[in-house]
């Protein structure tokens, strides 16, 4: 009787399973899920217990989904992992953490994965927000932030190793509060950089944590362009980048006369060449882009070369205008010559008149000349006589 009873139930159950095709042989959920911050709060650690009631020959894995919001999550997971252990940790600087853990079969017959177990964790109140950095030159960057609480004694600590942070030495102040820091001499571009900004609020320590992949925050000054003519080519040469030279592309933007601007990729030596048109003014700009991460320079200020010249116009000038101008000049010249011909071509005095002058006026003219010359001779004599004679003579040789 008893066996029959159980057989009956088993058949019902089995057929239900078979009919609905949906009641799965689900694995049990993990148990006692906990989340915690590490001491410096750069990482979250999660622990759980293996679900009780697992069959002995059943091996399972755990799938972890990490969301950066409160549970239950709406957005997609930031990261996912599958692990064998019953704990896991990872770096994060988000303010809200939600974690879901699911038991999934490894070698466990036809068992299906468990329902997910959720847990969340919030970061304690921070001291600053909007933490941004700019890597602007080799081994140099500056980071800035906005204060969110009235904390005092703000300090920044930073480093590529979260367990070994250095203090900021060059703060950027706005009024009486520290709002930024200039940082030097670190291998910022290689991995993540860890930052703590801490202070005291109402006598208690308070801090904010940030993790930044600095290679995504590169912003340099635009390169400088030199334009030179090389035969029939015009060559644009830019100053090379100051660091990680293999990581940069230079893109030229140039305009010739009034044509549309064109793009041109710089070569390995940061230069580019175009055919030169002497009748055109060239306007050239360049922008550098960082490929080993994210970054660029802004577009450089324009550099110019040559002048716009209308060659057809100059042809017109030579073939039409110049002859007209020349003819006008000739006409004017002729008119002027006619008007002033008496002055320009004085009448040649008749030889008879000349001889008359010679014989009649010669004496008078000679006397006049002599009279004019005498006063100058007098002046010279006077001047010399003013100087002490002896001294003058001694110096002269």
> Contact residues for ligand NAG (CB under 6 A)?
31-32, 49, 52, 109-110, 132-134, 142-144, 153, 155, 157, 172, 180, 198-200, 205
The distance of closest approach from Cβ of residue 204 to ligand NAG in the complex, given in angstroms and rounded to an integer, is: 9
Among 177, 212, 32, smallest CA distance to 117 is for 32
CA angle (172 as vertex; 171, 174 as ends), nearest 5: 130
- Of 74 and 110, nearer to ligand NAG (C-beta) is 110
In whole angstroms, how close is the CB of 238 to ligand NAG at the nearest point? Answer: 24
Q: Cβ 285 to ligand NAG, closest distance in Å?
A: 23
Spatial distance between the Cα atoms of 370 and 397, rounded to a whole number of angstroms: 33
Closest contact distance (angstroms) between CB of 209 and ligand NAG is 12
Residue 125 beta carbon to ligand NAG: minimum distance, rounded to whole angstroms: 14
Cβ atoms of 213 and 189 closer than 8 Å: no
CB 114 within 8 A of CB 103: yes
Measured CA to CA, the distance from residue 123 to residue 209 in angstroms comes to: 10
User: Quick one: 100 or 208, whose CB is closer to ligand NAG?
Assistant: 208
Cα 59 from Cα 236, distance rounded (Å): 66
Compare residues 65 and 212 and give the one whose CB is closer to ligand NAG. Answer: 212
Considering the complex, state which of residue 50 and residue 70 has its C-beta at the smaller distance from ligand NAG: 50
Nearer to ligand NAG, 161 or 314 (CB): 161
Minimum Å gap between C-beta 202 and ligand NAG is 12
Q: Which is nearer to ligand NAG, 97 or 133 (CB)?
A: 133
């Amino acid at each position: 009787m008893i066996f029959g009873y159980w057989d009956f139930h088993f058949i019902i159950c089995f057929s239900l399973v078979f009919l609905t095709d949906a009641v799965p042989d689900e694995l049990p959920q993990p148990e006692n899920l906990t989340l915690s911050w590490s001491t410096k709060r750069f990482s979250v650690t999660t622990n759980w217990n293996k679900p009780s009631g697992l069959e002995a020959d059943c091996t399972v894995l755990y799938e972890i989904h990490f969301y950066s919001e409160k549970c239950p999550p709406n957005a997609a997971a930031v990261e996912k992992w599958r692990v064998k252990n019953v704990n896991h940790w990872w770096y994060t600087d988000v303010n809200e953490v939600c974690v879901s853990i699911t038991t999934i079969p490894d070698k466990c017959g036809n068992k299906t994965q468990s329902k997910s177990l959720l847990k969340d964790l919030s970061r304690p109140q921070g001291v600053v927000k909007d933490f941004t950095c700019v890597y602007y030159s080799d081994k140099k960057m500056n980071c800035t932030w906005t204060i969110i609480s009235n904390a005092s004694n703000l300090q920044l600590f930073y480093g590529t190793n979260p367990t070994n942070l250095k203090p900021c030495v060059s703060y950027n102040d706005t009024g009486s509060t520290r709002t930024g820091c200039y940082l030097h001499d670190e291998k910022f571009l290689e991995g993540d950089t860890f930052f703590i900004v801490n202070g005291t609020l109402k006598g208690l320590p308070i801090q904010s944590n940030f993790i930044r992949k600095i290679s995504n925050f590169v912003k340099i000054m635009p390169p400088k362009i030199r334009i030179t003519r090389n035969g029939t080519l015009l060559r644009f040469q830019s100053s090379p980048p100051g660091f990680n030279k293999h990581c940069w592309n230079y893109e030229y933007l140039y305009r010739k006369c009034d044509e549309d601007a064109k793009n041109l990729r710089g070569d390995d030596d940061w230069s580019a060449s175009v055919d030169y048109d002497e009748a055109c003014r060239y306007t050239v700009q360049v922008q550098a882009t960082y490929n080993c991460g994210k970054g660029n320079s802004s577009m450089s200020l324009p550099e110019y070369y040559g002048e716009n010249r209308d060659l057809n116009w100059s042809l017109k000038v030579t073939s039409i205008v110049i002859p007209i101008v020349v003819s006008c000049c000739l006409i004017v010249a002729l008119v002027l010559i006619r008007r002033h011909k008496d002055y320009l071509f004085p009448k040649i005095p008749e030889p008879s008149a000349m001889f008359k002058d010679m014989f009649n006026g010669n004496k008078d003219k000679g006397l006049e000349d002599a009279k004019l010359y005498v006063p100058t001779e007098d002046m010279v004599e006077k001047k010399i006589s003013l100087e002490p004679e002896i001294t003058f003579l001694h110096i002269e040789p």
